[in-house]
Structure formats: structure tokens, C-alpha cells
Amino acid sequence: MPELPEVETVRRGLAPVMEGALIRQAELRRPDLRFPFPPAFSEALKDRRVVSLGRRAKYLLIDLEGGDVVIAHLGMSGSFRVEGPALQTEAPGDFHMPRSKDVRHDHVVFHLETPEGERRVVYNDPRRFGFMDLARRENLTAHAFFRDLGAEPTGNTLDADYIAAKFRGRQTPLKAALLDQKNIAGLGNIYVCEALWRAHLSPERLAGSLVTAAGKPKTELVVLTQAIREVIADAIAAGGSTLRDHIRADGSLGYFQHSFSVYDREKEPCRTPGCTGTIGRIVQSGRSTFHCAACQK
């Protein structure tokens, strides 16, 4: 599933085309994705201007004039691409993994009027685990998708004191606590593995062990907080990890997967300087966790 850096990459790719554009038509080629579209969804978007594109956790937010917001989630295999006259819809260069080009999976088409001419933003989703919804901007924080979300790993709210308050007294394994969206919004399996490796912390360690009896963060938690912020920033800068079907909006792929230190590197040497361990894989809550038992304690 695309994680926060992948969704941020999509947002940045779509913003230059969609922001300020007029949606002449929102063409729905089926009645549902993972969930049915909201009633009169297409009619609600007709002749509406896009004000801005945002993101909350793994959700793409398309703000419209008048205060409505389109909420889009990519699910497992969803992707956007931009089409139009004189536009190159295939980015140059080699692809790490091919994107879906089957028009049978083009489920939503936004027909846009932009200063550069007509454009189409196409949502393609072979597995149809993605979805779209419509909400009022003033009600967004109370929306079921957002009301329980924790702090963003890219914002100033996320610091060691914040995480200490969430982890205090918790007997949950550290990996599970970091994946809990009520604690930190947008973190997924890939980047949690990477952050724990950078901080040299075991994914099986109890979350509460990083907090003092007085509720203050231990030095290890300070290091982990910085590792989380850095790994997310590095992934966004590299364009997202682009595993499996995920693509950037211009059709190109991110390259952060080439610098993974633990994820999907089972039995390979640990990259920590001076460490002689190898990367192992364990299963936690049905998900693969990659770590080095020699240097992650």
C-alpha cells in the first residue's frame, strides 16, 4: 500500500495541473471503487474550480471553491496520470516496476480546463481498493477518516515529548505502536522498519520502555523521533518508494527503494558501520518486519 511519501509525491505531481483548474466533468466509469461513490458525486464536481491540493496522512485532499473537499485514497494499486494535447504521458527513463496501462482500470476521469488547455487527470486502480469521498472543509477534522489520526511525521507537532505521552505505560511492541495511526498518522510498514533500523531499536521492544517513569522521553526515543522524521523526508525527496504498482503522477517512479537499508533485504549484510549481522525477517501482526538482531536492541 502506498505510504505517506508516495501520497505526498502524487500530491506534488498533480498540484501544478489541478490547482486553479476548472473541473468541467468528473467522469465515473463505474458506480464504486472500494466503496460506492457519494450520491451525486459527479454532479457536485461539475464546473467547480480546484483551489488547492493537500494531504492528511495517506489521504489526498482536493479543495474546491465553495468549501467542498474531495478525499481520495490510493488503496493498494491506485494511481493518477495526466493526459492532454501535446502532453507526454510516459515519462522518459527506465521504470523500476511498470504502472497499469490497461484502460479497463481507468475508473475516474477529471476533465479539466487549465490555462495551458484541456487536461485529463485519470485515476487507474486494477484492484479497486482505493476510494473517493466528498466532505465539507469545516467538518474535515471530525470526519470518520481523520478524527482519530495522530500527528503528522512531517509537522512540528511530532517530537519526543509527544511520542512519550502516547507510549507511556504501553506494553505494545514498538513496531505495532508506530503503525498505530492514532499515534502517528501516515507511517506504514516500510518506513517504520527503516526508522527503527536507523535508531538501532528492536521492533519487538516494548513501546513503554522508551519512556521514563515520570513520562519523559529517554534518549533512545529522541533518536527514534529524529529517525522517523529523516526517513520520511528522504523518501519524499526521492519521490516515494514506488513498490509494486505505485507511480508518480507524471508516470515516472520513485527511487528510494534503491536505498532501503533493511526492508526486503532478508539475509543480506547489515549496513550499519562495524556491524557483522545480517538482515532477518519476522512476522508481526501478519506483516513482515525486517531488522538486524545484532545492532537493533
Render pLDDT for 237-274 as a digit per residue (tens, 0 to 9). Answer: 887 665 555 566 666 656 566 679 999 999 999 999 99
Q: For the structural domain made of 160-292, what CATH number should be given? A: 1.10.8.50
Q: Where do runs of H (alpha helix) occur along 26-111?
A: 41-45
**Which pLDDT belongs to residue 248?**
64
Q: Spell out the per-residue pLDDT of the chain, length 297, in tens.
A: 678 988 998 899 899 999 999 999 999 999 999 999 999 999 999 999 999 999 999 999 999 999 999 999 999 888 888 888 755 443 322 323 344 567 899 999 999 999 989 999 999 999 999 999 999 999 999 999 999 999 999 988 999 999 999 999 999 999 999 999 999 999 999 999 999 999 999 999 999 999 999 999 999 999 999 999 999 999 888 876 655 555 666 666 565 666 799 999 999 999 999 999 999 999 998 999 999 999 999
271 is in an annotated binding site: no
Domain 4-142 identical in fold to domain 160-292: no
127 is in an annotated binding site: yes
Of residues 48, 56, 58, 265, which has the active-site annotation?
58
What is the rounded distance in angstroms from the CA atom of residue 20 to the CA atom of residue 66?
13
**Which pLDDT belongs to residue 93?**
29
**Which pLDDT belongs to residue 242?**
57
Contacts of 216 (CB under 8 A, 6+ apart): 161, 164
**Which pLDDT belongs to residue 86?**
56
The domain spans of the chain are 4-142, 160-292
55 is in an annotated binding site: no
**Which pLDDT belongs to residue 246?**
56
Place of cell 536507523: 198
**Which pLDDT belongs to residue 101?**
65
Closest by alpha carbon to 70, among 162, 206, 87, 80?
80
**Which pLDDT belongs to residue 98?**
42
pLDDT tens for residues 56-105? Answer: 999 999 999 999 999 999 998 888 888 887 554 433 223 233 445 678 99
- Assigned CATH topology for domain 4-142: N-terminal domain of MutM-like DNA repair proteins (3.20.190)
Catalytic-residue membership of 58: yes
Greatest alpha-carbon span in the chain: 63
Of residues 3, 8, 152, 220, which has the active-site annotation?
3
Catalytic-residue membership of 2: yes
Catalytic-residue membership of 16: no
Catalytic-residue membership of 3: yes
What is the rounded distance in angstroms from the CA atom of residue 288 to the CA atom of residue 284?
6
